[in-house]
Amino acid sequence: MNSLLRFALPTTSIVLLVAAAFVVLPEAEAAMDAPDPLTATAPELYTGGLYVEPDTAAEQAVARFEEQGRSSQADLLRKISSQPTAIWLGDWYETDLLVRVITRNLDAAAAEGTTPVFVNYAIPNRDCGGYSRGGFEAADYLEWTRTIADTMRGSRAVVLLEPDSLAMLSADKCATEVDTRPALLRDAVEILTDAGLTVYLDGGNNYWIAEHVMADRLTAAGVSMARGFFTNVSNFYPVNAEREYGDALSALLGGKNYVTDVSRNGTGWQGTWCNPTGAGLGEAPHATDGSTKLDALLWVKHPGLSDGTCNGGPEAGEWWDEGALELARNA
């Protein structure tokens, strides 16, 4: 018997203690109601459809164009602002702001009954010195991941874990990460999945890494604990090619599920990954009916945000009117 209960208690107190033992807190109730990310169908995981974040850069551009009397261009950009896009989390947020951003969007999604999709993007030596360089040190990265997991715990959030983190390991500039990054990602997957979140790892795309190589990397990074992997993030390959690649990779991983970024693949590959001329918006993002291993077609990369200072674009991640308008015209 617990030493704290060895003394005599009034009968009413005993009744209250027994009743309290069966009280279910709202967070615990939500966790019990949430589907198992490893076994649920896509409609069960993406219940209510995808969450549309308010006040995005695209929405701000629409308002600015309207104020300037550029109504036709504002209408074009509504093709972007009206669609659900993933919410990117990175080392640009201080901890307090990170928690507020997550909480605000989780609360809004819960009120609507929709499913929010987040992107964690702060892996050590992110982009291996490229346009999107940055990230945390390893110990800080895992602490950052714990903060995200604790804040999202009990929600129905989807997390895409570190675009390019595994596919880029083939690059010479990422040689220092080959031995350490998969294990670090595995730790991050464990933290996030322990919080009940639906997690996908970087699966590259059909034109980048051979399926058997990517399967080995995903296995080392803990894909067995995750829902699966994502493909084509920030890239331009058509759905059919990505589906063929995703299905082949899934088969090597025992039937893992996947999602594909279709934000800018409407006209297919245009010869470069960095602000290509001629690219267009892809089909509207949505979850599938769950009859295949493809869970959803998402807009992960925000159309209108620059890939970097190439082909006339501003710094990586900055809004670019010209690029956004071209994507919308070519949709």
**C-alpha span between 22 and 136 (Å, rounded):** 42
> What's the DSSP call for residue 126?
B
Selected catalytic residue, list 150, 179, 307, 321: 307
Which token pair is 190? 């464990």
**C-alpha span between 224 and 203 (Å, rounded):** 14
Catalytic annotation present for 107 = no
- Residues sharing a CB contact under 8 Å with residue 8, sequence separation 6 or more, in sequence order: none
The number of beta carbons lying within 10 Å of the beta carbon of residue 56 is: 19
Selected catalytic residue, list 150, 164, 172, 261: 164
Question: Under a CB-based contact definition with an 8 Å cutoff, are residues 252 and 211 in contact?
Answer: yes
Catalytic annotation present for 33 = no
Kind plus residue range of the DSSP H or E element containing 80? helix 71-81
The residue with tokens 């219940």 is 47
Q: β-strand 117-121 against 158-161: which pairing, if any? A: parallel
The number of beta carbons lying within 10 Å of the beta carbon of residue 53 is: 20
Q: Which residues pair with 307 in a beta bridge?
A: none
Selected catalytic residue, list 127, 202, 261, 295: 127
Mind telling me the catalytic residues? 127, 164, 307
